[in-house]
Amino acid sequence: MTKEPLHPDETQRGARDKRGHWRPSDLIDYAPVVAWPPQPRKLAKWVIGGMGWLPWPAACAAVAIFFWIFLTPSMATMETFAVGWIAYLLARNLLLVLALYGFMHFRLYIKKRQGTAFKYNPNWPSGRNPVFIGGRQTTDNMIWTIASGVPIWTAFEVLTLWAFANGIIPYVEFSEAPVYFIALFFAIPIIHELHFYLVHRLIHIPALYRFVHSVHHRNVNPGPWSGLSMHPVEHLLYFSGVFIYWIVPANPVHAIFHLFHAAFMPAIPHSGFHELAIDDKRTVDVGGHHHYLHHKLCECNYDGHGLLPIDKWLGTFHDGSDETEERMNKRLAERAKKQAAKKSKAKTPA
């Protein structure tokens, strides 16, 4: 039985411009994590209120704990590299990606359960574009994710679990330091945020952008599969954050959580939708506008829009307003003018 499409009212939260692109009424802002004076009530609402920040990493942590206990080989098995357990982890991770990314894509882009309601770009991903493998954005995204992203993620997991099993890296049990063990779970999203920002700025260096990061940025109208659609070099850099547990004492479940967080969270801000509809009246704000603007404009919003307002600190934050875009365009125009003048001067004979 085919379900009727949902019809949530997007006009209560934003409006569409002349080209049909939807923009939320509320400007993008960061949580008051480092605000002064402190704003505990506002912070608590952001962390746990409604569908706040906490449910996403909490769900990821719960999945990681479940998989560590029930769906990860024993430490004794992982002491030695063997095809069997490595292939098992690869298959496990692939099935997870197919389940999450596939479900979101099927619901939003194949069944189109909520049509274009809350979709930033009213157009659907291109089916005839030569910049994508096979001319199709979704096919291209799936190939990069499955052929590069999942194997590289699994390779980092295999290497790290093998190192834990052999006592090469510091290992902490819950019974030894329960407070530290739990606190590290809360620190992991921040660790990932900082690592993501540093890697992201690195691959925006012109040479790396052209040959590496441009693969991801082809998706100016992203969908869920765009989240992990990256060049292999970017996958190597992106998942390398797990190496912190080669230095910082941790448990294998922390490393698994870190990798799961890195692997699954991109599906949300790359969904292409500001809110996901539960039914005609209830929606979930997935906070994708911050990163959507990065894909659209490229020169802003490099951080993960989590706990730390790094872009705001460093002057690269775009809050979604026309005024911010005017200032950004002016800054970029001045920079281009200076670069052109420098090139012209270099070509002028002495």
Rounded Cα distance between 211 and 199, Å, is: 15
C-alpha separations of 97 from 26, 101, 104, 127, 179 in Å? 32, 6, 11, 22, 32
**Strand 22-24 versus strand 14-16 pairing type:** antiparallel
- Give the residue from 119, 121, 100, 107 showing the smallest Cα distance to 273: 119
Q: Are residues 203 and 168 in the same domain?
A: yes
pLDDT confidence bin for 21, thresholds 50/70/90: very high
Q: Does 194 fall in a domain?
A: yes
Cβ–Cβ < 8 Å for 199, 265: no
Q: Are residues 326 and 296 in the same domain?
A: no
Q: Are residues 56 and 155 in the same domain?
A: yes
Q: Are residues 296 and 338 in the same domain?
A: no
Q: Does 4 fall in a domain?
A: no
Rounded Cα distance between 86 and 155, Å, is: 8
pTM: 0.92
Q: Range of 84's domain?
A: 32-307
pLDDT confidence bin for 2, thresholds 50/70/90: low
Side chain identity, residue 329: N
Q: Are residues 117 and 255 in the same domain?
A: yes
Q: Are residues 174 and 268 in the same domain?
A: yes
Q: Are residues 348 and 270 in the same domain?
A: no
Q: Are residues 296 and 268 in the same domain?
A: yes
| pLDDT attached to residue 285 | 85
| pLDDT attached to residue 36 | 74
What is the pLDDT averaged over residues 222-246? 97
Cβ–Cβ < 8 Å for 135, 122: no
DSSP state of 17: -
Q: Does 339 fall in a domain?
A: yes
Q: Are residues 234 and 174 in the same domain?
A: yes
Q: Are residues 213 and 98 in the same domain?
A: yes
Q: Are residues 326 and 247 in the same domain?
A: no
Cβ–Cβ < 8 Å for 252, 161: yes
How does pLDDT run across 268-321, given as a tens digit for each residue?
Answer: 899 999 999 999 999 988 889 999 999 999 999 999 988 889 999 999 999 999
| pLDDT attached to residue 313 | 93
Cβ–Cβ < 8 Å for 115, 5: yes
DSSP state of 270: T
pLDDT confidence bin for 171, thresholds 50/70/90: very high
Question: What is the domain count for the chain?
Answer: 2
| pLDDT attached to residue 350 | 55
pLDDT > 60? residue 51: no
CA atoms within 13 A on the CB side of 89: 28
